[in-house]
Amino acid sequence: MPDPVNALTDAVKKTVESAGRLAHERLSRQTPPVVPGTPGAETPAYTEPTEPVGPPAPKPDQAGPDRRTATGTATDLPPTAVAQQGAFLTTAHGARLRDTDHAQKAGRRGPTLLQDHHLREKISHFDHERIPERAVHARGAGAHGVFVGYGNAGSISCAELFGAEVVTDVFVRFSTVVGSRGSADTARDTRGFAVKFYTPQGTWDLVGNNIPVFFIQEGIKFPDLVHAAKPQPDREIPQAQSAHDTFWDFVSLHTEAQHHTLWNMSDRGLARSYRTMEGFGIHTFRCVDAEGATSLVKFHWKPKLGVHSLTWEEAQLVQGNDPDFHRRDLADAIEAGAHPQWELGVQVMPDTDDQTFAGIDLLDSTKLVPEELAPVQPIGLLTLTHNPTNYFAETEQVAFNPSNLVPGIEVTDDPLLQARLFSYLDTQISRLGGPNWTQLPINRPHADVNDNLRDGQHQSAVHGGVAPYRPHSLDGGCPFHAGAADGAFLDLPVKVAAGVKERALPASYDDHFSQCQQFWASMTPVEKEHIVAAYAFELAKCFEQPIKERQLQALANIDPVLCSEVATALGLPAPGPTVPLEAPDASPALSQVGGTWPGDGRQVGILVDVDGDLSGVSEVADAVHEAGMVPLVVAARGGVLPDGTTVQRALNATRSIEFDAVLLAGCPAPAPDALVARDAKAGAGGATLDPRVTLMLGELDRHCKVIGAWGAGAQALEAAGIDAAATAGVVVGDSGPAVLAEVTELMGAHRVWERYPARLS
Ligand code: HEM
């Protein structure tokens, strides 16, 4: 039998480039430099238009669901065919209306008439516009894209989408887990990473997270976990936070959750962007090749931009300044032409009777397989090409389900996965108002559907024939059972371990701490420092002393330094371990520090002095664009500067968190609206520098972001008290382009951690 691990690596290099090319061929346009949020091509009239014209076309960065019938057939309808039609306002039945601002009344000062159909229809429809939010993962953002196979996965799976240069349409939704639909994006939390592949063999949903392990080993505990993590039921606070008693009560009593919680407390819980997250299928899946040979497989998404996070202070500032930070970042990047990309990779393990690899039980989703033991091998490329046209129709109504599988990919008996196979379909019946949500445009398969399922609320297929049952003879016997040659789902016969019927798990699930110990040992000093601070913050927000003490006990079972650092912050004694403390091998792949990454779509602020020398500013902005990043000119006021440069961010409406790096092209003196004495946001200030710039530079400095300066910009550094020569990651040069070149290189490492060396080793 061919060795699946080695066979996979063979063809990768040849096909990566062509996959990228194919993905980009699907883009609707050659992207000119776009600064997201700039005015549209059509300037709106100052007065309300009166000449009837049709609805607007979608923006170039937008796409909607593929135009399919409710039963999966492709149509040649233009994208706009499913949008509103005609130039005139109508009722839902198409009757044109002459007025929508006044109800019909019995006399101008009289009562409103029941017969006013338009009033009742308009208000009634509005009354029912909201649907229940998702029970978890309510807050999210989506995008359309394509997946292109590298063609090297045939040795493990016969799924056609993995074939060489096979292009599959996808819809991706990223999310936080705990917060409500309107919560802030940057809460410390796990992120959902759900991908719907619309293949001709049916839809495959890979419904994963940005953390490779899960809180619990059994799906039956999911309601307990979620009840503990959601806002407390008495006052319904805190929103989108794990920093409260019920969460820590659960995870400290239920120590299998400690591994996932440790990842949450690490920088992984504070993604910089959806574009800079890894994704994981978490469970072990069973892949089947064309000969019926099986392997146990874990799926990984590897971002081309690397894995990067916010600092905790940034995350908190963002929540107030731009709660839509991740949603905006994703849409802006796509609009700006910085199309996010991930490689899909697999860890392949032999399908042995004990379903164990290197001593790790592959059916326990609180455990990962270190990449050093089973390397992640790339098998295809995902590119996000378009933003949705309509949030509700697409991102809100999309329904993922781990039981949507295609031939070549099957589930295992992981008890967490098994419960998920029931839960998603069930919840979507109530969330989407009935059993026919697969017919919603975003959920329609790109494959023929002939399911014998009938009727139900919102049925939008018009089924023919008289015999939606099997067997029958009345409709010619259609639909027929498919055989293997017809691409039928395989339902592979798999041996089930004999046992007694019981509510229990095998002993291999009892180890809750060894991989926590390995994770901690794999962190760099700065990452360890962040983890300590996160635990200290979260537990300080708990009121109940026994919960804090219990969690400290769990930390003692991970690492004595971690435990004592957090205990000190809480003013409590550090307990000793109750499990053996191993000296685990570090797994470098678990750390996100190190490496050099492209800066595509990163935002670079260019601070100018509106009264100063503006020469060279537009040249630098162009160079930022050419480097694949987004230049944002920052000034004391909005509008257009004397040299024609447009200001994208006025100091009164921006904050450092918008920028991955800032270039100082001037030293603006305090502007009239700086209100030094009254504006709490304004920093110490001084006569020479606008205090809001002082504040910004202080934050950029603390957050280890790169700062560049030339000309009068160097004086801004001085006025803000930043010693350029003594501060790592601060570049002062003679010209904008020269400084930008150095800044771009430094940004490749994401942050300049050397600026403040960590205390822990
Ligand atoms: C490895 C473990 C799990 C992962 C990676 C995971 C991931 C996800 C993701 C990414 C979503 C959001 C999908 C979207 O964007 O629409 C989601 C939603 C959901 N998950 Fe999970 N989940 C896990 C475990 C579970 C378990 C054990 C249950 C229940 C037994 C569950 C129940 C739900 C429900 C009810 C939703 C809402 C679905 C909807 O309304 O469409 N999840 N999950």
Q: What is the DSSP string of 4-38?
A: HHHHHHTTHHHHHHHHHHHHHHTSSS------TTP
Q: Which atom of ligand 1 is nearest to the CA of 209?
A: 5
For the stretch 235-270, pLDDT in tens is 999 999 999 999 999 999 999 999 999 999 999 999
What pLDDT, on the 0 to 100 scale, is given for residue 352? 96
What mean pLDDT comes out for the span 477-488? 93
- Choosing from 209, 210, 401, 436, the catalytic residue is 209
Q: Cis ω on the peptide bond leading into residue 303 (within 30° of 0)?
A: no
- Say if CB 12 and CB 150 are below 8 A apart: yes
- pTM, entire model: 0.95
- Say if CB 667 and CB 713 are below 8 A apart: yes
How far, in Å, is the centroid of ligand 1 from the Cα of 327?
19
Within 13 Å of residue 193, how many CA atoms lie on the same side as its CB?
28
What pLDDT, on the 0 to 100 scale, is given for residue 687? 73
Q: Which atom of ligand 1 is nearest to the CA of 175?
A: 15
What pLDDT, on the 0 to 100 scale, is given for residue 5? 38
How far, in Å, is the centroid of ligand 1 from the Cα of 194?
9
What pLDDT, on the 0 to 100 scale, is given for residue 200? 97
Give the integer Cα–Cα distance in Å for 74 and 198. Answer: 12
Q: What is the 3-state secondary structure (H, E, C) of 701-743?
A: HHCCCEEEEECCHHHHHHHCCCCHHHCCCEEEECCHHHHHHHH
Is 209 a residue of the active site?
yes
Angle, helix 560-570 to helix 545-556, in steps of 10 degrees: 160
Which residue has its alpha carbon closest to ligand 1 atom 10? 192
For the stretch 697-751, pLDDT in tens is 999 999 999 999 999 999 999 999 999 999 999 999 999 999 999 999 999 999 9
Which residue has its alpha carbon closest to ligand 1 atom 28? 420
Q: Which atom of ligand 1 is nearest to the CA of 192?
A: 10
SS3 228: helix
- Say if CB 386 and CB 143 are below 8 A apart: yes
What mean pLDDT comes out for the span 503-507? 96
For the stretch 169-179, pLDDT in tens is 999 999 999 99
How far, in Å, is the centroid of ligand 1 from the Cα of 135?
9
Confidence check: pLDDT of 276 > 90: yes
For ligand 1, is residue 424 a contact (CB within 6 Å)?
Answer: yes
For the stretch 454-473, pLDDT in tens is 999 999 999 999 999 999 99
Confidence check: pLDDT of 531 > 70: yes
Is 137 a residue of the active site?
yes
Give the integer Cα–Cα distance in Å for 703 and 725. Answer: 18
Express as a percent the part of the chain with pLDDT over 90: 86
For the stretch 592-643, pLDDT in tens is 999 999 998 899 999 999 999 998 899 999 999 999 999 999 999 999 998 8
Q: Cis ω on the peptide bond leading into residue 479 (within 30° of 0)?
A: yes
Give the integer Cα–Cα distance in Å for 167 and 165. Answer: 6
First to last CA, the chain: 46
For the stretch 94-118, pLDDT in tens is 999 999 999 999 999 999 999 999 9
DSSP structure class, residue 568: H
How far, in Å, is the centroid of ligand 1 from the Cα of 134?
9
Within 13 Å of residue 3, how many CA atoms lie on the same side as its CB?
4
Which residue has its alpha carbon closest to ligand 1 atom 27? 219
For the stretch 7-24, pLDDT in tens is 444 444 445 556 666 655
Position 385: which residue type? T
What mean pLDDT comes out for the span 292-302? 97
For ligand 1, is residue 345 a contact (CB within 6 Å)?
Answer: no
- For CA atoms 509, 231, 194, 372, the dihedral sign is negative
How far, in Å, is the centroid of ligand 1 from the Cα of 390?
23
Which residue has its alpha carbon closest to ligand 1 atom 19? 136
Alpha carbon 252 to its chain's center: 27
The average confidence (pLDDT) of the chain is: 93
What pLDDT, on the 0 to 100 scale, is given for residue 427? 98
